[in-house]
């Protein structure tokens, strides 16, 4: 009589361990995190909703349960960035600096905030670059929701200092662009393109940029055409 083979009992370690089920909030944050990472790496045209779902190990149905449309997903991305960027706290700090008319610190704080954003939220800035290149609606949405209020605050400070005779005359929007440009260029070069930036830290760069910018913004006599110098120049020219 043949004895049936003995089947060894499975060790508990050999059994598949079910993954813990994420809460609705955690799943939403996971989907957003992977969406930002994929958009920043492949762009919007190169990222499908099923790619985002697959990266999280779920179906597209789960993705659409959290974000009914792509526009819902885009707004959620902006919500996430706005919460992480700490814009309200930064504007409150800038308001205190503005009230004491500390131009150097005002510009330095603005530049430091921009560089911090590039440093800590590089994927978001890469995503926005892709969006702009692809003609996506996200940059416009970002401007309407966040950027416009910040630019309006900066513009009002420039206008105030112009009226007080401290800042040079000129179009306020252009001057605000001048103030932000060094940090935007530095941050893009260093964090978006991965190119060698200036041989200094972000803090040192912000300090040096702010010193140069505050000097450029001052309404000094040297910025006003000197008629006597022009006459002297003409006289020298005629004698030569």
| Of 27-31, 183-187, 220-224, minimum mean pLDDT range | 220-224
Q: Compute the C-alpha angle 177/92/184, nearest 5°.
A: 25
> Does the pLDDT at position 9 exceed 70?
no
In the predicted model, what is the mean pLDDT of residues 178-192? 95
Q: Are 151 and 81 in contact (CB under 8 A)?
A: no
In the predicted model, what is the mean pLDDT of residues 90-113? 96
**pLDDT tens column, 15-52:** 444 556 778 889 999 999 999 999 999 999 899 999 99
pLDDT at 227: 42
* Euclidean distance between CA atoms 50 and 148, whole angstroms: 33
pLDDT at 125: 94
Q: What is the pTM of this model?
A: 0.78
Q: Name all contacts of 131-138 with Cβ < 8 Å and 24+ positions apart.
A: 131/39, 131/44, 133/43, 134/43, 134/44, 134/45, 136/44, 137/74, 138/44, 138/74, 138/77, 138/78
Percent of all residues in the chain with a pLDDT value above 70, rounded to a whole number? 82
* CATH classification code of 80-220: 1.10.357.10
> Does the pLDDT at position 173 exceed 70?
yes
pLDDT at 18: 52
pLDDT, mean over the chain: 84
Does 215 or 6 have the greater pLDDT score? 215
Question: According to CATH, where is 1.10.357.10 located in the chain?
Answer: 80-220
Question: According to CATH, where is 1.10.10.60 located in the chain?
Answer: 26-68
* Euclidean distance between CA atoms 234 and 56, whole angstroms: 74
DSSP assignment of 214-232, as one string? HHHHB--GGGS--HHHHHH
Residues in the chain: 240
Q: Name all contacts of 100-107 with Cβ < 8 Å and 24+ positions apart.
A: 101/161, 101/164, 101/166, 103/161, 103/166, 103/167, 103/214, 103/217, 104/210, 104/211, 104/214, 105/210, 106/157, 107/179, 107/209, 107/210, 107/213, 107/214, 107/217
Q: Provide the β-strand partners of residue 167.
A: 218
Class of domain 26-68: mainly alpha
How far is Cα of residue 129 from the mean position of the Cα atoms in its chain?
10
Residue 157, helix vs strand vs coil: helix
Percent of all residues in the chain with a pLDDT value above 90, rounded to a whole number? 64
Q: Compute the C-alpha angle 95/180/216, nearest 5°.
A: 90
pLDDT at 22: 76
pLDDT at 1: 54
| Of 1-10, 125-134, 145-154, 166-175, minimum mean pLDDT range | 1-10
pLDDT at 7: 52
> Does the pLDDT at position 237 exceed 90?
no
Q: Are 27 and 62 in contact (CB under 8 A)?
A: yes
| Of 75-79, 127-131, 143-147, 184-188, minimum mean pLDDT range | 143-147
233 — pLDDT class (breaks 50, 70, 90): very low
pLDDT at 90: 93
């Amino acid at each position: 009589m043949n004895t049936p083979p003995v089947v060894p009992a499975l060790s508990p370690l050999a059994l598949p361990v079910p993954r813990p089920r994420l809460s609705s909030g955690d799943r939403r944050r996971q989907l957003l995190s992977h969406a930002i990472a994929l958009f920043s790496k492949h762009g919007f045209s190169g990222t499908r909703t099923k790619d985002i779902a697959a990266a999280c190990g779920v179906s597209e149905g789960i993705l659409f349960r959290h974000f009914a449309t792509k526009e819902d997903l885009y707004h959620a991305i902006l919500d996430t960035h706005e919460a992480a960027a700490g814009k309200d706290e930064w504007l409150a700090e800038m308001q205190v600096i503005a009230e004491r008319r500390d131009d150097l610190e005002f510009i330095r704080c603005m530049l430091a905030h921009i560089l911090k954003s590039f440093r800590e939220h590089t994927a978001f800035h890469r995503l926005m670059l892709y969006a702009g290149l692809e003609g996506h609606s996200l940059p416009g949405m970002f401007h309407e929701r966040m950027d416009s209020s910040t630019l309006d605050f900066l513009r009002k400070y420039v206008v105030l200092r112009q009226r007080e005779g401290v800042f040079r005359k000129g179009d306020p929007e252009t001057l605000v662009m001048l103030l932000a440009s060094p940090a935007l260029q530095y941050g893009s070069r260093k964090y978006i393109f991965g190119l060698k930036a200036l041989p200094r830290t972000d803090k040192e760069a912000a300090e040096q940029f702010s010193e140069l910018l505050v000097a450029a913004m001052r309404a000094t006599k040297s910025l006003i055409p000197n008629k006597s110098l022009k006459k002297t120049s003409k006289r020298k020219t005629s004698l030569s």
